[in-house]
Amino acid sequence: MPRKTRARSSRDRELLRQMLRIRRFEERCVELYSGEKICGFMHLYIGEEAVAAGVCHALTSEDAVVSTYREHGHALARGVPIRSVMAEMYGKAAGCSRGRGGSMHIFDAERRFYGGNAIVGGGLPVAVGLALADKLLSRGRVTACFFGEGAMAEGEFHECLNLASLWGLPVLFACENNLYAMGTALARSQAETDLALRAAAYDVAAWPVDGMDVRAVADAAERACESIRAGAGPHFLELRTYRFRAHSMYDPDRYRDKAEIEQWKLRDPLGQIRLPEDELAALEKEIAQELEDAVTFAEEAPIEPIEELTRFVYSEVRP
């Protein structure tokens, strides 16, 4: 179990700040969803915040991030403005995807955040393509690709890992193993549950990480990124984590024992780094104000005009 210790450095404080922002953002989204301010599918990241905060901390602004449909935390940790993420949740034109994507399709090219993808494993080929372009152009960047353990049952996972290894591409495969692919437990669907071991079969440097310990995640991601930038090819991190909420807002969550969930909550990543009470209160206040501003921004933002609904069906860039 991760140790509960006081913040020892500015890195610790920043990691805690990012995790708190993600947690409070999603808690507010639940309220807004219940009030029908946010519609459509919504998949929460609560419990897994250490992964997004730790991995994104190891990246530079030139690196790329490819995510999943459970990507609110990845987007916030990457630096996508909280206002534009909230407006996207509302389906407003001020959203980072102009309100056309919603919860599962957050996208911000300026921050090199390339989705948000509703298809299981759908981001893997995108990440490999980005990394191939970077390698061909000798740009020295890393592409971090988040995906769940359920994606490892998809054929494209194996195709992508094979090509990334064969061509020595600069990809950090960040597998969030929360033990359940929707409602199916990993042990019920996979003969080998050691995912790092499976990835290593493609001659990729791979190891497991305690995904509830943000310091361990940050350390592992920094080590992997340093190695990738040195030309060692793709790396794979199996980030062992757990989601405290159901798969999605409509999931009755009957496939897990409630005692199991409570046991994992004892390892809540937000409790691993402690701040003095006055510092924590100040941080919570700062985040609450930021979040309130984002909600106000989203509420007041206009919806897209009807006459523009068919924009972007075809590219507006002329050759």
Q: Per residue, what are the HEC states of 151-194?
A: HHHCHHHHHHHHHHHHHCCCEEEEEEECCEECCEEHHHHCCCCC
Contact status, residue 67 vs residue 115, Cβ threshold 8 Å: yes
Within-domain flag for 314: no
Within-domain flag for 317: no
Within-domain flag for 319: no
**Eight-state DSSP code of residue 206:** E
Within-domain flag for 33: yes
Distance CA 21, CA 179 (A): 24
Tens of pLDDT, residue by residue over 104-120, are 999 999 999 999 999 99
* CATH number of the domain where residue 169 is located: 3.40.50.970
What is the extent of the structural domain holding 249?
1-308
Half-sphere exposure at residue 262, Cβ-oriented, CA atoms within 13 angstroms: 3
Confidence (pLDDT) at 2 = 52
Half-sphere exposure at residue 296, Cβ-oriented, CA atoms within 13 angstroms: 6
* Total structural domains within the chain: 1
Question: Which candidate, 79, 27, 35, places its Cα nearest to that of 53?
Answer: 79
Q: pTM for this one?
A: 0.95
Confidence (pLDDT) at 110 = 97
Confidence (pLDDT) at 3 = 56
Within-domain flag for 316: no
Within-domain flag for 42: yes
Within-domain flag for 232: yes
Per-residue pLDDT of the chain (319 residues; tens, 9 = 90+): 555 677 678 999 999 999 999 999 999 999 999 999 999 999 999 999 999 999 999 999 999 999 999 999 999 999 999 999 999 999 999 999 999 999 999 999 999 999 999 999 999 999 999 999 999 999 999 999 999 999 999 999 999 999 999 999 999 999 999 999 999 999 999 999 999 999 999 999 999 999 999 999 999 999 999 999 999 999 999 999 999 999 999 899 999 999 999 999 999 999 999 999 999 999 999 999 999 999 999 999 999 899 998 998 888 887 7
